Structures are given as structure tokens and as C-alpha cells.
Amino acid sequence: MNPPRISPVPLPDDTIETLLDTLTRQHYCVIDQVIPAELVHSLHELALARQQSGQMHQAGTSKAAIANPALRADQIAWLEDNDPHPSVQHYFALLAELQHLINRHFMMGLDSVEAHFAIYPAGSSGYATHLDQFSHHRHTIATGARALTATLYLNEDWTPDAGGELRLYLDEHAQAPGQEAAHLDISPLGGRLVLFLSARFWHAVLPAKHPRVSVTGWFKTR
Ligand SMILES: O=C(O)CCC(=O)C(=O)O
Ligand SMILES: [Fe+2]
């Protein structure tokens, strides 16, 4: 991506410390209340506006991106780093700041980021258990692999009974784990940012009663 046009809002030092420390220990982390509420609100409005104006399409699975709503129910719209909307600029700036911090701390060699809005409709079945790395990246030495997943939830008044949790399987598994494997269910609360190593964590999105809105991004290696 090109450098963002809006300079990053510096993340508070204690947030950075917690984030890096948690990622070191767990290889995933859940951060609340770091993204300004106005940004969350404005991204939410923008996602809905893009859906209403027909700019979203049914997401696919696998490299061929074949749409299969039984496996994956969301509609998505990719974000461009030159999108003139200030909220998109602001969010890309924040991702750039995270990329810089993580590279400096872990030398992960993150080189670019891609991101899309996702809306799972009310009553959707979610997204079946998967890894965010394509298998050709897992089994070969390939460039441009997704290394770190970053999802920001935009659901401002989400209640636990609405479901829609991100189910993160905690142990490494060669194949998709069964539902009973050790996991953490993370509610998609507005302003919550979840980071995890893309190749390490199998995960799923559970059925949601209400429309479930997010921005999902992936930092990629060179
Ligand atoms: O929205 C989420 O919680 C995760 C979405 C996801 O797994 C994906 O888009 O690959
Ligand atoms: Fe995923």
C-alpha cells in the first residue's frame, strides 16, 4: 500500500505495551476501547451505505473465491488505501502504525495490508471453521502470505444473546478442529480489535441474530 495521507493517531504507550506483551505470550490479542468511538461509528455508517448502494458482493472461500453462503454468509467490500473517505484513511493510518510497531518488535516483515468491510446478515449462519492462509501458502514457500489477521468490530449495541462470536481455536491443529476443541468465543462488540497469527489459529464466525458488521484486514509478508 502507499503511505496513508492522514498521519496515525499515536496509540497510548500502555496500550502498545499490553498489545505487544499479549501477542508475545498468546499469539493473539483482544483490545477494547482503543479505536475512537466516532471512528467506529463512522465506519459502521459507511459499511451500511456501501451495502445500500450495491457496492458489496457475496464473499467467497478458497483462492478461487467461490461463493458458498452455507460456509460463509458475509457480503464484503474491499477498501482501497486511496479511498478518499476520512474514516477509511484514518483506519489505514492506524493499521500502518500497528504494522510498524509489530515489525519493530517481532521482525515479522509485514509489508502491506489489505482490508474489507464485512456484513453478515441477520440470521446468518456465520463462517465455517477455517484458516486465513491459503493452503498453497501454508505448504510452500510463497510470497505475499497473510501473516496477521486484524478484525475491528463495528456493532455498537451488540448484546450477548445476538451471538455472532468469533470462535478462536487455541491449539494448533493440522486439520479443522471439531467444535469441542479448546476455544475462546469473542463477542463482536463495537470498537473491539482482535489480532491473531493467520497461519496459527483456526477460527469460525458463529450464527448471528442481527446484522454483524466489521472491517477485517490482513497484514501480509513480502
Ligand atoms: O469477523 C470475524 O470475526 C472473522 C472473519 C473471518 O474469519 C474472515 O473474514 O476470514
Ligand atoms: Fe478468517
| Ligand 1 atom nearest to CA at 203 | 7
Q: What is the dihedral of CA 177, 180, 183, 187, to 10 degrees?
A: 110
The ipTM of this complex is: 0.99
Q: Average pLDDT in the 131-156 region?
A: 81
49/6: higher pLDDT: 49
Nearest to 156 by CA among 194, 117, 190, 119: 190
Mutate to test the pocket of ligand 1, among 28, 114, 151 (most ligand atoms within 8 A of CB): 151
Ligand 1 centroid from CA 118, angstroms? 8
pLDDT over threshold 90, residue 70 = no
Ligand 1 centroid from CA 38, angstroms? 23
| Least confident piece of the model among 4-13, 20-29, 51-60 | 4-13
β-pair partners for 60: 67
| pLDDT for the residue 104 | 94
The binding-site residues of ligand 1, defined as CB within 6 angstroms of any ligand atom, are: 118, 127, 132, 151, 166, 203, 205, 214, 216
d(C-alpha 111, C-alpha 143), whole Å: 11
pLDDT over threshold 80, residue 64 = no
| Ligand 1 atom nearest to CA at 204 | 7
Ligand 2 centroid from CA 131, angstroms? 6
Ligand 1 centroid from CA 77, angstroms? 13
CATH superfamily of 16-58+71-221: q2cbj1_9rhob like domain (2.60.120.620)
Average model confidence (pLDDT) across the chain: 90
**pLDDT tens digits for range 18-50:** 999 999 999 999 999 889 999 999 999 999 999
d(C-alpha 113, C-alpha 93), whole Å: 11
| pLDDT for the residue 11 | 83
Q: Which ligand is located closest to the Cα atom of residue 59?
A: 1
| Ligand 1 atom nearest to CA at 130 | 7
Domain ranges of the chain: 16-58+71-221
Q: Which ligand is located closest to the Cα atom of residue 198?
A: 2
Question: What DSSP string describes 92-136?
Answer: HHHHHHHHHHHHHHH---EEEEEEEEEEEPTTB--EEEE-SS-HH
Place of cell 463495528: 154
pLDDT band at 151 (very low <50, low <70, confident <90, very high): very high
d(C-alpha 30, C-alpha 169), whole Å: 14
pLDDT over threshold 70, residue 140 = no
Ligand 1 centroid from CA 70, angstroms? 15
pLDDT band at 3 (very low <50, low <70, confident <90, very high): very low
